[in-house]
C-alpha cells in the first residue's frame, strides 16, 4: 500500500525520509527542506499504523495517519503545551491548514472535507464536542504535541479508495507550501 501511495504522489527518493522520529525531524540541524515527506509505519495498540507527514515549517508537520479503521488528519508540533499547540492551530496556523479541521458554520464537516468514499458519514468523530471541561473541542490528542481528528472508515471500503484519499490529502498538504510558502493566518 505504501509503495502505491509513494508512486501516486510522484515523489523521488530524495523527497522522502523513512522512519524518522519526532526529535530527529525537528532537530535544529535538520537539512531537509520544508515540504519534505516523512513516512513511518508500525504497530500501536495491536493495530497497524501508517503515517505520512509533510513538514510545514521548523516547528510543524501536518499528516495523515491510518490506524485500524481511523483515517486521521493531524498536526504535530515540535514543542509547546497541548493548549499552546491547540491555540496555534485555531488562531495562528495558515488558513488552509485550519480549514482541514475547522467547521463551516452549523455544519459538522470541515471546511476542507475529507476525501470522498471513506465513510457514509464524512463528519469527523468529535470526542470532546459535548464536554464543557475539555477545551480541545472536537480534537483527540496524543501527548502534548500531537492533535488530530478522524473519520471512521466504513467496513467495505476498498484499499484503492483509502490510497486515493491519502494521496489527495498529501498533495493538498504539499500544495500549501508551494511557491511563496504558507500564507499568514487570516
Q: Is the pLDDT of residue 183 over 60?
A: no
Number of Cβ within a 10 Å radius of residue 177: 20
Q: Which of 20-34, 96-110, 124-138, 158-172 has the lowest mean pLDDT?
A: 124-138
Note whether residue 102 is domain-resident: yes
Note whether residue 158 is domain-resident: yes
Note whether residue 181 is domain-resident: no
User: How does pLDDT run across 83-133, given as a tens digit for each residue?
Assistant: 888 889 888 998 888 888 876 555 566 778 888 899 887 667 655 444 444
* Total domains present in the chain: 1
Confirm if 59 and 185 have CB atoms less than 8 A apart: no
Note whether residue 88 is domain-resident: yes
Indicate the pTM of the whole model.
0.84
Q: Which of 29-33, 131-135, 136-140 has the lowest mean pLDDT?
A: 131-135
Note whether residue 184 is domain-resident: no
Average pLDDT for 4-25: 84
User: HEC states along the chain?
Assistant: CHHHHHHHCCCCHHHEEECCCHHHHCCCCCCCCCCCEEEEEEEECCEEEEEEEEEEECCEEEEEEEECCEEEEEEEECCCCHHHHHHHHHHHCCHHHHCCCCECCCCCCECCCCCCCCCCCCCCECCCCCCCCCCCCCCEEECCCEEEEEEECCCCCCHHHHHHHHHHHHHHHHHHCCCCCCCCCC
Mean pLDDT score across all residues of the chain: 80
The domain in which residue 27 lies consists of 2-176
Note whether residue 183 is domain-resident: no
Amino acid at each position: 500500500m505504501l509503495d502505491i501511495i509513494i508512486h501516486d504522489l510522484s515523489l523521488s527518493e530524495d523527497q522522502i525520509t523513512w522512519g524518522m522520529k519526532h526529535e530527529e525531524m525537528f532537530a535544529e540541524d535538520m537539512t531537509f527542506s520544508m515540504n519534505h515527506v516523512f513516512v513511518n509505519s508500525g504497530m500501536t495498540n495491536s493495530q497497524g499504523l501508517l503515517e505520512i507527514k509533510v513538514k510545514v515549517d521548523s516547528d510543524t508537520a501536518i499528516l495523515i495517519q491510518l490506524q485500524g479503521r481511523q483515517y486521521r488528519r493531524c498536526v504535530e508540533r515540535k514543542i509547546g503545551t497541548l493548549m499552546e499547540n491547540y491555540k496555534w492551530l485555531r488562531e495562528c496556523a495558515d488558513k488552509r491548514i485550519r480549514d482541514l479541521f475547522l467547521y463551516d458554520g452549523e455544519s459538522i464537516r470541515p471546511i476542507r472535507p475529507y476525501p470522498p468514499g471513506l465513510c457514509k458519514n464524512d463528519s469527523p468523530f468529535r470526542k470532546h464536542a459535548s464536554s464543557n471541561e475539555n477545551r480541545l473541542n472536537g480534537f483527540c490528542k496524543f501527548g502534548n504535541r500531537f492533535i488530530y481528528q478522524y473519520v471512521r472508515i466504513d467496513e467495505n471500503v476498498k484499499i484503492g479508495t483509502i490510497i486515493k484519499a491519502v494521496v489527495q490529502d498529501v498533495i493538498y498538504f504539499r500544495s500549501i507550501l508551494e511557491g511563496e510558502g504558507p500564507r499568514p493566518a487570516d
